[in-house]
Amino acid sequence: MAYIVAIVCSIVVALVLRLPLLPSKPYRYSFDVSALYPTPIIAIGILSIFLVLNYTFMYNGLVLAAVIGVLSALFVKYLFDFVFPKPLDENAGEDMNE
Amino acid sequence: MNEVIGIIIAAILCWLNFVIVDTYFGLPEQSGVRGARIIGKDVEKRGGDIAGGFFQGNILCSPDASAGTLMASIGYMLLGIPGGIIAAFLVFIGNRLCADPGYAGTTGCLTATAIIFLTSFIGLTPEMFIVGMVIAIFTIMGIDQAKVSVVLGKIAKKFNRHARE
């Protein structure tokens, strides 16, 4: 249950912060962040670390889930490119006709 | 369930899981990094298929659905379903460190967690999936790279993900 709250919360806050819903095209090779990926992955990953450590704060972890959802959306919006920079040479794998 | 039968079933499920997820997310289509391209060209030179070679190179060079399935089994064994989700998170960090967008790895991790959860009702344990995944990777990388790459190339063609040349 807390997982659903974390996923929904992170996606909604990410959309409020004007992240695009889907990554830019081409979808499967894009390094751009978006609301559907990777925001919810980060949110549920950190939430399950808290749950495994038996730290659930109030209301069976629902408040914790909401807080982590908001924080992970903020992280993806403002800090993500600083922590995980995009690869420098963007065409490294694409020039196949050499 | 008998352990040997369980391991065989788990190996087949793992193989299908990571080959389908990796192929869908375009591993055979292009080499993400230079090392993957060198492996692909080398496999092609030895009589293999270029798409299968890129597939093997990409598996080797960054954590994709293969590593995701293995990490999910280990996480599930240690911590249950939250362990599988933590594994997806860790695989995502590893992907970004390896200059890989990370779609295949995280998706493979989550689908593997779901598969392990569903098959736990018929008596398959996460330990069987760890052994099965090692066997599955061995069939891709260890026995005969050139011949397996032809099979992988055929699967890639079926998914419309063959290398663009």
pLDDT tens profile B19-47: 888 888 877 777 777 788 888 888 888 88
pLDDT at A97: 43
CB-CB under 8 Å, A97 with B101: no
Residues B42 and B38: their CA atoms lie apart, in Å, by 6
Tokens of B120: 């736990």
pLDDT at B77: 92
One-letter identity of residue B95: N
Is residue B25 within 8 Å of residue B103, measured between CB atoms? yes
The domain spans of chain B are: 3-25+60-158
Smallest CA-to-CA distance from B163 within B51, B19, B49 is with B51
Residues A54 and A43: their CA atoms lie apart, in Å, by 17
Shortest alpha-carbon distance between residue B161 and chain A (Å): 12
pLDDT tens-digit series, residues A22-74:
766 666 666 667 777 788 888 888 888 888 888 777 777 788 888 888 888 88
CB-CB under 8 Å, A37 with B34: no
Gyration radius (Cα) of chain B, Å: 15
* Of B25, B30, B164, Cβ closest to residue A93: B30
Q: Which residues in chain A have their CB less than 8 angstroms from residue B81's CB?
A: 48
Mean pLDDT score, B115-138: 90
Calculate what percentage of chain B has a pLDDT beyond 90.
25
Angle, alpha carbons B97-B137-B31 (nearest 5°): 45
Q: Which residues in chain A have their CB less than 8 angstroms from residue B34's CB?
A: 92-93
Is residue B136 within 8 Å of residue B18, measured between CB atoms? yes
Residues A81 and A17: their CA atoms lie apart, in Å, by 16
By CA distance, what is A3's nearest residue in B? B82
Is residue B152 within 8 Å of residue B145, measured between CB atoms? no
| DSSP structural state of residue A24 | P
Residues B145 and B41: their CA atoms lie apart, in Å, by 12
pLDDT at A93: 47
Query: How would residue B105 be classed by pLDDT, with cut points 50, 70 and 90?
Result: confident
